[in-house]
């Protein structure tokens, strides 16, 4: 569902209603204000200005609230050879996609406050807004104490950060149609995402995103849409019911791949070549496709994320970066497949000086946008099955609008 409002958590230090001037003319139209008499004049004047008022950490009707984390690069304390290696990127995109799949009739808001010892910058707040907006959600804009104090004092450096932040919020508010696009994907993840399966299935989504794998979330209680996918991960520890099993096996026979745990049960088909097996999975061939069954009930989402990327092959990557640094992306298309948007997120302290990106699909035209306006000096190369875009220096978020 398209996000109906642009929310902001009102800073506790802003007891003077004159601070409402800071949001005048912006996309911010829903204020979450702490209870207390000290905010009475703020609430009164905000309502008179046509703003909606709520309480922090309480979702209004029609909104699913997700407790997120501050998006950005998180350096680990030791070397790693996992889905991304170090540094890892923290993003709330997978949570927004999951909430949207489980609660399709609601909008999704993400609560994530700046961490301790946070150093405010326009780029950091741009990522805060874009990491949610790119996936069709809305970040509940939450200011660190230093920035809130600087804005109350109308300091120029704070006002510049604020200007860029509200520009980013307005960018997504003006493009609500993008939130109705469907995620482009090569992998489908089937689960009930609850109970005994909650921890594994949700961490799997997180790690797949870190690996750059574009996936479609398929709740088990609904008929799964497998069109266009190259692989399915059945993430639950219980056997699938008969109709779901039949549909998945039909997908495999037509050329798809299945990754599942031993609880899937006996798999039809022939044993695959020894070279097709890995240390954790037994491979079988079925029709034009193949099945990979884990050898033990123990499930490691870290390993499953890695193996799914290998099984599908990077040749089918939906989005591929060069010189991007710590990147993330969300790629979606309209129902008629005539329009698309690739959201590009650069999670470092600044955007790249020059980066290239390849977007899979038969596209004939592309426009690049940032919240500051169009990117005029892009170079494009059109291939049979993809478009390649060469970007100049850009900020931490770019949208490629495709036709």
Q: Is residue 98 part of a domain?
A: yes
Kindly state whether residues 31 and 156 are assigned to the same domain.
yes
Q: Is residue 298 part of a domain?
A: yes
Mean pLDDT within 151-163: 97
The domain that contains 196 carries what CATH number?
A: 3.40.50.880
Kindly state whether residues 74 and 119 are assigned to the same domain.
yes
Kindly state whether residues 207 and 130 are assigned to the same domain.
no
Q: Is residue 269 part of a domain?
A: yes
Q: How confident is the model at residue 268 (pLDDT cuts 50, 70, 90)?
A: confident
Kindly state whether residues 140 and 207 are assigned to the same domain.
no
Residue 323 has pLDDT above 90, yes or no: yes
SS3 content of the chain, % helix, strand, coil (to 5): 30, 25, 45
DSSP 269: S
Q: How confident is the model at residue 1 (pLDDT cuts 50, 70, 90)?
A: low
Mean pLDDT within 233-253: 95
Q: Which domain holds residue 352?
A: 319-402
Residue-level pLDDT at 136:
95
Kindly state whether residues 249 and 109 are assigned to the same domain.
no
End-to-end CA distance of the chain: 23
Mean pLDDT within 243-253: 96
Q: How far is CA 187 from CA 133, 216, 232, 281, 339, in A?
A: 23, 6, 6, 18, 21
**Does the pTM exceed 0.75?**
yes
Residue 281 has pLDDT above 60, yes or no: yes
Q: Is residue 1 part of a domain?
A: no
Residue-level pLDDT at 291:
93
Kindly state whether residues 62 and 80 are assigned to the same domain.
yes
Pairwise CA distance, residues 137 & 92, whole Å: 9
Which of 180, 196, 231 marks a domain boundary? 180
Q: Is residue 341 part of a domain?
A: yes
Residue-level pLDDT at 114:
94
What's the farthest any 2 CA atoms get from each other in the chain? 73
The total number of structural domains in the chain stands at 3
Kindly state whether residues 21 and 137 are assigned to the same domain.
yes
Pairwise CA distance, residues 140 & 77, whole Å: 30
Mean pLDDT within 174-187: 94
Asked whether the beta carbons of 295 and 280 are under 8 A apart, the reply is: yes
Q: How confident is the model at residue 373 (pLDDT cuts 50, 70, 90)?
A: very high
Residue 265 has pLDDT above 90, yes or no: no
Q: Which residue has the higher pLDDT, 117 or 153?
A: 153
Kindly state whether residues 190 and 84 are assigned to the same domain.
no
Residue 17 has pLDDT above 90, yes or no: yes
Which of 180, 208, 243 marks a domain boundary? 180
Q: Is residue 67 part of a domain?
A: yes
Q: How confident is the model at residue 7 (pLDDT cuts 50, 70, 90)?
A: very high
Kindly state whether residues 312 and 323 are assigned to the same domain.
no
pLDDT in tens, 377-389: 999 999 989 999 9
Kindly state whether residues 149 and 199 are assigned to the same domain.
no
Which of 149, 180, 211 marks a domain boundary? 180
Among 139-143, 250-254, 270-274, the range scoring the smallest mean pLDDT is: 270-274
Pairwise CA distance, residues 239 & 126, whole Å: 43
Asked whether the beta carbons of 114 and 70 are under 8 A apart, the reply is: yes
**Contacts (Cβ under 8 Å, ≥6 apart) of 326:** 73, 87, 89, 346, 347, 348
Kindly state whether residues 274 and 229 are assigned to the same domain.
yes
Residue-level pLDDT at 2:
59
The average confidence (pLDDT) of the chain is: 92
H or E, element range at 191: strand 187-191
Residue 161 has pLDDT above 80, yes or no: yes
What does the block give as tokens for 389?
Answer: 């875009």
Residue-level pLDDT at 307:
86
Residue 303 has pLDDT above 90, yes or no: no
| Phi–psi pair at 190, nearest 5 degrees | -105, 125
DSSP assignment string, 67-120: E----EEE--SS---SSS-SSEEE-SHHHHHHHHHH-TTSEEEEE-PPPTT---
Q: Is residue 2 part of a domain?
A: no
Q: In a 3-state reduction of DSSP, which class is residue 379?
A: strand
Kindly state whether residues 252 and 398 are assigned to the same domain.
no
Q: Is residue 338 part of a domain?
A: yes
pLDDT in tens, 67-89: 999 999 875 544 444 444 445 78
Cβ burial of 238 (10 Å; 0-12, 13-18, 19+) is middle
């Amino acid at each position: 569902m398209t996000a109906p409002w642009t929310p902001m958590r009102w800073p506790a230090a802003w007891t003077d209603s004159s601070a409402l001037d800071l949001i005048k003319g912006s996309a911010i139209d829903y204020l979450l204000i702490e209870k207390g008499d000290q905010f009475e004049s703020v609430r009164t004047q905000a309502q008179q200005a046509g703003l909606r008022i709520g309480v922090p950490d309480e979702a209004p009707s029609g909104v699913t609230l997700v407790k997120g984390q501050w998006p950005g690069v998180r350096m680990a304390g030791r070397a790693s050879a996992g889905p991304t290696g170090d540094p890892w990127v923290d993003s709330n995109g997978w949570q927004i996609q999951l909430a949207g799949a489980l609660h399709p009739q609601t909008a999704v808001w993400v609560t994530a406050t700046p961490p301790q010892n946070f150093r405010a910058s326009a780029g950091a707040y741009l990522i805060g807004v874009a990491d949610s907006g790119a996936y069709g959600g809305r970040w509940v804009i939450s200011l660190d104490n230093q920035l809130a104090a600087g804005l109350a004092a109308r300091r120029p450096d704070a006002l510049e950060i604020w200007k860029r932040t509200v520009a980013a919020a307005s960018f997504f508010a003006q493009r609500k149609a993008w939130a109705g696009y469907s995620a482009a994907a090569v992998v489908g993840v089937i689960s009930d995402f609850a109970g005994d399966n909650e921890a594994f299935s949700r961490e799997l989504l997180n790690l797949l995103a870190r690996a750059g794998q574009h996936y479609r979330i398929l709740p088990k209680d609904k008929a799964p849409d497998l069109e266009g996918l190259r692989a399915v991960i059945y993430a639950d520890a219980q056997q699938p019911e008969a109709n779901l099993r039949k549909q998945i096996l039909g997908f495999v026979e037509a050329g798809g791949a299945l990754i599942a745990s031993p609880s899937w049960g006996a798999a039809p088909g022939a044993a695959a070549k020894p070279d097709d097996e890995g240390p954790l999975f037994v491979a079988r061939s079925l029709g034009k496709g193949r099945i990979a069954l884990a050898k033990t009930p123990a499930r490691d989402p870290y390993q499953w994320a890695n193996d799914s990327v290998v099984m599908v092959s990077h040749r089918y990557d939906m989005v591929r970066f060069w010189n991007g640094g710590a990147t993330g992306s969300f790629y979606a298309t309209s129902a008629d497949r005539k329009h698309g948007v690739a959201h590009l997120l650069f999670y470092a302290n600044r955007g790249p000086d020059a980066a290239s990106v390849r977007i899979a699909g038969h596209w004939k035209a592309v426009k690049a946008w940032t919240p500051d306006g169009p990117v005029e000096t892009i170079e494009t190369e059109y291939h049979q099955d993809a478009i390649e875009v060469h970007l100049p220096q850009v900020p931490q978020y770019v949208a490629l609008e495709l036709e």
